[in-house]
Structure 1
């Protein structure tokens, strides 16, 4: 299950730490965090699922809940020539809530 449907107070701290209060499936809300650098990389100026350390080559990292509650990560990522590319990523595509803990799908 995508995490945002069972989460409150979703935010990204320090540019790469996803934090929220997640429903653990038993009606309890628990604090959880996930280092996005462990699941997202930068491939020539593009976000890459399954990579790592995107934040090391990113500037102007931001996070917001957009539209119908979609969790969007935005950043300017350096490409191989050193140019910044404005990119966004829907975190709900691959991050879920497993019993009150974030998990990468």
Structure 2
């Protein structure tokens, strides 16, 4: 299940050269907690494609945005990623592939 289903106000914010995933996520007691995850610590750019085993994608990305899509509430991160030759590529990644709500905290796994 997508973390977006157990969270409210899911969004991204760019600050200090990094992209943060921000949400108010429900814990086991039903309370909502403010939580943030620096996406640059778990997502990289490999020649114009998102890479889960990398880091620091923001430095080579433009037009970064998040959309929550479909009945499954899939959190899709989209961006124009540059390759080593400077060409940009429209790319997206489903953040729920590797990010979960762990008792009210967004966690990369």
- Category of TM-score, reference length = shorter chain: over 0.9
The alpha carbon displacement at 1:81 in A equals 1.1
- Equivalenced residues, count: 105
Query: Aligned-residue CA RMSD in angstroms?
Result: 1.2
Within 1, Cα distance between the matches of 2:30 and 2:105? 14
Which portions of structure 1, spanning 4 or more consecutive aligned residues, are displaced by more than 2 angstroms? none
Quick check: 1:58 aligned with 2:54? no
Contact persistence 1:66–1:72 (CA under 8 A): yes
Quick check: 1:103 aligned with 2:107? yes
Q: In the alignment, what sits opposite 2:3? A: 3
Give the structure-2-normalised TM-score: 0.91
Gaps of 5+ in 2: none
SS of equivalent residue, structure 2 residue 54 = coil
Give the structure-1-normalised TM-score: 0.95
Gaps of 5+ in 1: none
The alpha carbon displacement at 1:2 in A equals 3.6
Contact persistence 2:60–2:81 (CA under 8 A): yes
